[in-house]
Chain A
Amino acid sequence: DTGVSQNPRHKITKRGQNVTFRCDPISEHNRLYWYRQTLGQGPEFLTYFQNEAQLEKSRLLSDRFSAERPKGSFSTLEIQRTEQGDSAMYLCASSPLAGRGHEQFFGPGTRLTVL
């Protein structure tokens, strides 16, 4: 399978714990995006990378959130001191630098539940 993959698919944690998610984009895709989606809503932009550089961060990305893409390939999203409001689906997408409309290809998501 050469699509975007995310791990884990599901994560249940207790409030206050730290969690880390991983995204493996389509190989050769320069851009990698993180989104958060809550029930009944569309995805909301969190941050994106071009290669290893984090170029933009949303105001939704509080100080408890950090994302990395150390070698310009896979990316991790860490949430520290989780809160119940962090419960959501976290989606990763990748796109080529050039190409029609910079079409973004999404992974299956990681569903986080904070108890």
Chain B
Amino acid sequence: KNQVEQSPQSLIILEGKNCTLQCNYTVSPFSNLRWYKQDTGRGPVSLTIMTFSENTKSNGRYTATLDADTKQSSLHITASQLSDSASYICVGSTLGRLYFGRGTQLTVWP
């Protein structure tokens, strides 16, 4: 069964701190692994897309890693800002279909 699991479910950090979000996926055959940011009441916005041959991908203060052997991915956020408060969703892609995790709800406090 294709599925994506994320941890933690929610996270609170202080502005300026770093954090790492985790994702375990079971998607076969594997095409790529994506991270999306979703602000409350808005649609998801793509942060990174990685194929199995890519170990890491950065987008500004966001850095995603992928271990295709253990089927794990992480999203590291550096020097967090208040605007980083959002849900971060890990997505496994196979044969053109996307399988979404439940997301990690990140709250950044001043």
A residues contacting B by CB (< 8 A) are 4, 40-45, 91, 93, 100-109, 111
Contacts and interface: CB of A to CB of B under 8 A. Distances in A.
A106 B32 contact: no
Interface in B1-27: 4
Given A43-B100, A106-B36, 7 more contacts: A4-B43, A42-B100, A44-B100, A91-B43, A91-B44, A101-B49, A108-B43
B49 A103 contact: yes
A109 B49 contact: no
Contacts of A111: 41
A102 B96 contact: yes
Interface string B87-107: 001010100111011110000
Interface in B31-47: 31-32, 34, 36, 41-46
Task: Decide if the interface of chain B is mainly helix, strand, loop or mixed.
Answer: strand
A108 B43 CA distance: 4
A73 B27 CA distance: 31
A101 B46 CA distance: 12
B32 A101 contact: yes
15 contacts: A41-B102, A42-B100, A42-B101, A43-B89, A43-B98, A44-B100, A45-B98, A91-B43, A101-B51, A106-B36, A106-B43, A106-B44, A108-B41, A109-B43, A111-B41
A30 B97 CA distance: 15
B59 to A, nearest CB: 13
Contacts of A93: 43
A45 B51 CA distance: 21
A69 to B, nearest CB: 17
Interface string B59-77: 0000000000000000000
Nearest to B50: A101
Contacts of A43: 44, 89, 98, 100
A109 B102 CA distance: 17
